[in-house]
Structure 1
Amino acid sequence: MKKLLLLIMSSLMIFSLTASSSNNTINSTVFPKQAAASVTDKDTASSAKTLEDKAANSKGKKILVAYFSHSGNTRRAAEQIHNLVGGDMHEIKTVTAYPTGYDESVEVAKKEKETNARPALSTKVNNMANYDVIFIGYPIWWHTAPMPIYTFLEAYDLSGKTVIPFCTSYSSDIAESMDAIKSLCPNATILEGLTANDANKIEPWLTRLNG
């Protein structure tokens, strides 16, 4: 009987040590992965996710998902990324709104690019220094990031941070904007970007980034 009790106690100790070792590995990743809440009540699930976000970010990297969206496509991609990695969200908005009509907005964007404009922003991240990883999302306008992205990235010191671009586009690839992002964040680590037109590609991309 004593031998049986000793065997059970030894098994429990091994299981406990293994679980503890597994939990500690998350700190070495680019950003912490999050487990889905195993509850059915909607309010409880929401509270559980909030707690998971806080716990993951306090143990690993503090994440910001910042995005500029005109039609809503980039916003949807940003929301999906946020749901998968947690952290905080920030919408980049301009003081002067872009026209809602396609042709009109295209002309404004073209003029801003030609004049190397820096549109004034109506939103600001007050605690940028606290973030380790910044996802930056935008539509591709005239084969690069929109000029509000230039305004946003130039407004902060991103030295030592990890910057992860993503975009939405009718035809262009994010590669067309990567030189601009690198020049705007010269002292940051820029990871592989994603053209996030296909929502099914977002999670595999995040998995690759997380190693």
Structure 2
Amino acid sequence: MLFVLTIIATIFIANNVVNSAECRTVKQGAHYSSMIPFHGLKSNTTISTRIQFTTSSARYLFPPTESKGELCTISWNKLWGAGRCGYLTSNHKDSDRFVFRRVGNCLRYESGYVIGENDNCPDSNLIEIAAYAYDNSLKPFEREGTLLKEFSTRLQIDIWYKVTLIFEEIKTIYQLFDNNDQLLETQEIDHRQCKDFNLGMMQDLYFGGQCPAPQAVSVCYDKA
């Protein structure tokens, strides 16, 4: 199994040497941007990528007929990260990821439904991000403030940023930089001690948790 994953990872890395910058899209009604959601293996203790949000990342809109529209809007979408504690460990057991969502105060809600958008909302092109970790199967969305920590910095569309994860034995450090490598903000999440804390599968763009994408949603990635 590990040999097969290594071969796939080698092909993935080779392809990305040729094609560095890439915009990935989750199609309407989907969660993943690819039919084969495998993005390689990591063993480094520090990993980075550059990301750029598109207009679709900040403007996706659930229809007024969706009974979970408000819940789906405030849910976090997975941006990028990696697992911990071994190559075959599930991301739902031990992992660290940056997550994102559109700014919700530009919308109007009623009884859980999205009933409209506010005109001329100043935050309509901004993105919220957070540090989001599973730790020994404990769920981040049930432990805000410990396994889910929001960044105060809101990101703009069509601008490159760099995100970095630093894996340590009992914690992971999340860093956000501008495109000039100036540090904007840092978050830290404590983890259980485990063997091979630096080993894991790479994690990439995934929309939802509660709902699939209501429209096509794209994010661009480049090497750091």
TM-score after normalising by structure 1: 0.28
Greater relative contact order structure (CA < 8 Å, 6+ sep)? 2
Q: Which has the larger radius of gyration?
A: 1
Bigger strand share: 2
TM-score after normalising by structure 2: 0.27
Bigger helix share: 1
